[in-house]
Structure 1
C-alpha cells in the first residue's frame, strides 16, 4: 500500500506522459499536483494593474503558519532524510496499532464535503462512511464529483451561492476564476491553526511546515494540505532481473546510457532499450522542474531564467532525440500520450527501462508477483549527464487542498478540522487504518501482516476521506518491504542532490494574459525528440515566447521575488 501515493508532486500541465493525474485516477489515492492559472491573490502588494496574479509567499506570512510538532505516536522504520518520505518495512499487527486521536473532537454536527472522485461513488450509508463518521464524531455527507471533469463542476459550484461546507481543490484545477473564488468563498483558518493553535489538532501539527506554506492564499491560511515529498518522484525504472541475467550494468552517464541502449536493442527479437526518456534527460542535464510554471524560474546572477532558455534544456532534448533516431526506443513511444499502458510489454521484456512515478515500483511488483515471480523492477539512481553528481530540482511540497466555507459556523469549522485531524493520522494507527482500509472483516482482511481489501472494500474505501488532509509523506508496503525500503532510500539519495528554485513552496498564479503563453512547448518537445522538428525550432519558439510576453512575465516574477522573497531554504 502506498500512503500519499509515494508522495510526489507535479503538474498535469507538463507531465501528461507519466501523468500524475491519470496516476491519481488509476490508484484512487492522492498525489500532489500543481498547475498554473489565473488571478490568485494580491499578496504583499503584488497585484499587476488589475490583471491578477500573485503569490502565497510573503515576508510577513511566516506568522500565519502552524507550529510544527512532530508526531511521536509511531516511530518509522526509516526516518525522513533529505526531504524523503518516512518509511515502514514491517508487517502490520492490528493488535498493536496506536491511537492518535484519544477522544472524539467532533461535536456531532453535519459537514458536507465536495471532492473529486475517480470511479463509482458508493452509497452514502455504507459501512466505511458510517464507521469513519462515528470515529470522528461528525456526520460527513459526501458530494463526490467525477474527477475527470471536476474543474467544470468546481467552477459552477464556486460561482453559485450554494457552496458545500468543505471543498477539495487539486492545484491542477486552480485555473480560470477558481483562485479568486477561493479567496472570496473560503474561511481564514488562522484563528484555529496558526502558531500554537494547531496543537488542538496534533495530527495536523505534524504536517510539515512547507506543506502549510502552500495553503497561504490571499494573505490568509485557507487550506488543509495533502503533503508530499519535494524530492523528484520520476524514477528511471528498469528490469533488474534481466539486467542481472544479461550482465547489463546500470549506466552512470549519458554516454553510458546510449552504449547500453545499443547493447540491449534487437528490433528483430522485439527488444528495445527503453521508452521515451525525456524526463530522465531533463533530470540528468539539470533542467529546472517543468511540473509547475513557477518552478520553471530561478534567479541566476541576479536575473530570472526560465528552464526553456537554458542550454541544459536543449541538450536534454537533443540527447532524448538521439535515442529515438538510433532506434533504441520502443515503437509504442512514437505514439506519445496515446501509447498503450506500458505494463504488459515491460513485463514481457520488450523494453527494459522507462521513467515513471515512483509508485509504479511497487505497483508493477505487485502486479507481476504471482504470474511472473522472476520479474524484478528497480529504480536507477539519476546521474549527471557527464558522469558526475546530478543536479535535481525540488517539486512542490503539497498540491491538493481542502477549503472550508467562509459562511460556515465556528462549530462546523471545528467539526471539519476534527475530520482532518483523523484523516491526517500517521501510518500504524487505528485512525490511519480506518481512513485508508475501512472496517476490518468487511472492507479488508489481514493475511501474514498484509492488509488486503475485500470486494466491498475496493468498492467503498476509495478516494474520499484521504482527500481532506494527509499525514507527512509516507511509504509502506507490508507485502513488499524491500520495495518500500528501496523507494525511500532512493529519494533520500536523490534528495541529497536536490535544490529548491526561487519560487519553491509558494502558491503562484500568473496574470491572466500569460496563461497560455507556454502551452505549445510540451508538444514541441515531443516533436523534437521524435524527429518531427529540430532543435532550431525550439530556439525559434523560445525567441517568440520572449517577444510575446516571456520577457514581461520575467519582470512580473522578478517584482514578485523582490517584494515577497523566497520560501526556498
Structure 2
C-alpha cells in the first residue's frame, strides 16, 4: 500500500517524477500536422492585449469552502498540514451540473490505463452527472498522437494539451479546432461553476488562444519549481552546512566527495545554476525575453547564462558530480536509488521529488530524510529568480461539440477543480473509500486497486488553485510551502509572463540544439566559446528578427515585468 499526497498544479517534471517515467518522455519531435484550417485562421501569431483579455476573462471568486492551514504568500501554493477528517469533508458541488450526456476525453497517460468500466470512473461519472469516455494515450509519445488527431476531422469532445506539447503547428490547431468558451465562462457567467470561478485570473489569461478563451487551465504556483534537494540526515550526521553562495557550494562538494568510498556530492546542477545566477527562465520561450537597459534581450545573450554554465562545468571538472550524470539527457539509469543509497547527496529536481522520495523511503529506509535547500544567490546575496507561468496544462472542447456537450465538459471540470478538504476532491484524487483507499490516523492510503485506477485521468482536466497537502507527511507539506514562500520573495516576472504567445513558425527551430550544447559544455565536451558562437549564429539566423517581433508585442501590450 502506498501513502498518497496532493500537489495540484503539476509541471511536466512532476508528472515524470510521480509516474517514474524517465528521460524517454522528454524526447519527442515536432508533431506532424498537415492541415489545420479554420475560419479564424488569420489570428495565429502573437498574443491578446490586456485590454481585450479583460473583456473575456472569467470573474474571480475565491472559494471559501475550505480554509487552508497555510495561506498563499509570494505566489506560493496554499498548504494543508492537518489530518483528514472524512466525516468533516465539505461539499463544493451541491447539485449535479451534468445533464447525463456522453463526453469523450483524450488525455496523456503514464502507465497502463485501467478498464473503462471501473469503480472509480463509475463513481466520478455518477457524481458529475456525465458519462465520460476516456481515450487515454501514452504520455511518452503524446505529441505524435496529438498531431495526428488534430490534423484529422475526428477530434474528441475534449482534448488535454500540456504546454510541453505545444510545439510546431499545435497552437494553430488549437485555434482552428477548439471552441470559444467565453459564452459559458466570461465575466459572471463562470459563477455557474464556482470551483472554476476560484481558479486565479492569471491561469485563465494563459488560456486565451487566438483572441478567445479556449482552454480550461490547470493553475500552478509561479515560483520556480526546481529545488536543490539534499540528504538532511547525512548532512546532520557529517556536520555539513547548507551553502549560501556558489563558492561555498563548490567547496562543500569537494569536502563531501570521496570516489573510493562511492560517494559524490551532487547530480547535474545546471537548473540550480540558472536560478542561482539569475538566468531568465528557459521553461517556455516567451519567458526567456526581458528588457535590460532599455533593450529586449533573450536569456542566452546574457552574461549570467554563460556564468551559470561555467560554474556547472567547474562541478563536473572537480569530479564532485556522480558519474551517472556524465551521460546527460541520454542517462540510462534512474538516479533515485543511488540518491537513496547516499551515493550522492544533492539532487536538483522538481519540488515533487521532496515528497516522492520521503514517501518511497519511509518504510525501507527509516533514517532517510530529504529536505529542500534554499536557492542561493551566486555571490552569497539573495537570488534573482524568474517566475514560471501560472498554468501549463489545458483542456479544450471541440468546436463541433454541441452546447450540451460543452456544458457537460464544464461540469466535469467544476468537480475536478474542487478544493482540498471536499468530498469532490477526495473522490477525484483518492477514489472510493474502502474500494480504492482506507484511512488510518487521518491519512488516506491507496490500495493496489486505487494505485491502478485512480491515476492520470480526471486530474488531467484541471485542478484547484495550487495546493500542497501531504497528510502522511505534513512536515514536508509545510516545508514545501514555506520554501515556495521564501523563494517567491525573490521571484520576479519577466516581460511576457502570463501571456499566451504563439511564435511564428519560421522561428520554431532556432534553438533546437541549445540544450545539447549546454550539456556538452558543462561536461567539458564543448567550450563556452562554442555557446557564444551559437548565440551569434542564432542572431543572424532569425534571433534578431524574432526580437523585433517580440518588441512589437511589447510595444502593443506593455510589460508584465515587476
Give the CA deviation at 1:37.
9.4
Name the residue aligned to 1:451.
Answer: 444
**Cα distance, 1:134–1:8 mapped onto 2, change above 3 Å:** closer
**Paired residue for 1:15?**
none
Match 1:418 to one of 411, 417, 433: 411
User: 1:86-97 counterparts in 2 under 5 A?
Assistant: 86-97=78-89
**Number of the residue aligned with 1:261:** 253
Match of 1:23 in 2: 17
Partner residue in 2 for 1:3: 6
In the alignment, does 2:399 pair up with 1:406?
Answer: yes
Specify the alignment match of 2:496 in structure 1: 503
Alignment partner, residue 25 of structure 2: none
Instruction: Please tell me whether residue 563 in structure 1 is matched to residue 539 in structure 2.
Output: no
Distance 1:549 1:308 in 2: 14
The answer to whether 1:74 aligns with 2:77 is no
Q: After superposition, what is the alpha-carbon deviation per residue over 1:334-362, rounded to whole angstroms, capped at 9, x for unaligned? A: 01123321111111111111100110101
Aligned equivalents of 1:188, 1:387: Cα separation in 2: 49
Confirm whether residue 190 of structure 1 aligns to residue 193 of structure 2: no
1:26 is displaced (CA, Å) by: 3.1
Q: TM-score, normalised by structure 1?
A: 0.93
Q: 1:128 to 1:474 in 2, by over 3 A?
A: same
Q: Is the 1:361–1:378 Cα contact (8 Å) retained in structure 2?
A: yes
Does the CA contact (< 8 Å) of 1:238 and 1:379 recur in 2? yes
What does the per-residue CA deviation read over 1:159-195, in whole Å, with 9 as the maximum and x for residues that have no partner?
A: 2222211111111122222221211221111111111
Q: Which runs of 5+ in 2 are unaligned?
A: 23-28
Return the offset for 1:3.
3.0
Q: Note the alpha carbon deviations across 1:510-550, whole angstroms, 9 max, x for none.
A: 11111111011111111111111111111111111111111
Once the two structures are TM-superposed, the CA of residue 567 in structure 1 deviates from its matched residue by 4.2
Residue 184 of structure 1 aligns to a residue whose secondary structure is: helix
Out of 512, 516, 534, the position equivalent to 1:519 is 512
The alignment's TM-score, normalised by the length of structure 2, stands at 0.94
In structure 2, relative to structure 1, the CA distance for the partners of 1:66 and 1:76 (3 Å cut) is same
Distance in 2 separating the partners of 1:306 and 1:444? 48
Q: Find the aligned partners of 1:500 and 1:443 in 2 and give their Cα distance.
A: 41
Aligned to 1:32: none
Q: Secondary structure at the match of 2:137?
A: strand
Q: Is 1:155 matched up with 2:133? A: no
Distance 1:567 1:108, change over 3 A: farther
Which of 332, 337, 350 is 2:343 aligned to? 350
Does 387-396 or 146-155 show the bigger shift?
A: 146-155
Query: Shift of the alpha carbon at 1:80?
Result: 0.5
Q: Matched residues in 1 for 2:443 and 2:18: separation?
A: 23
Q: CA deviation at 1:392?
A: 0.1
Aligned length: 550
Q: 2:32·2:144 contact (CA, 8 Å) conserved in 1?
A: no
1:405-428 Cα offsets, whole Å, 9 max, x none, are: 112121111111111100000000
Q: Which moved more, 1:152-161 or 1:440-449?
A: 152-161
Unaligned runs of 5+ in 1: 11-18, 29-34
Counterpart-to-counterpart distance in 2, 1:538 and 1:139:
53
- Mapped pair 1:300 → 2:292: yes
Q: Please give the residue correspondences for 1:529-548 in structure 2 after superposition, counting only pairs within 5 Å.
A: 529-548=522-541
Q: Please say if residues 69 and 79 of structure 2, whose CA atoms lie closer than 8 Å, have aligned partners that are also in contact.
A: yes
1:157 partner SS: helix
Q: CA RMSD in A?
A: 2.3
* 1:22 positional shift: 2.6
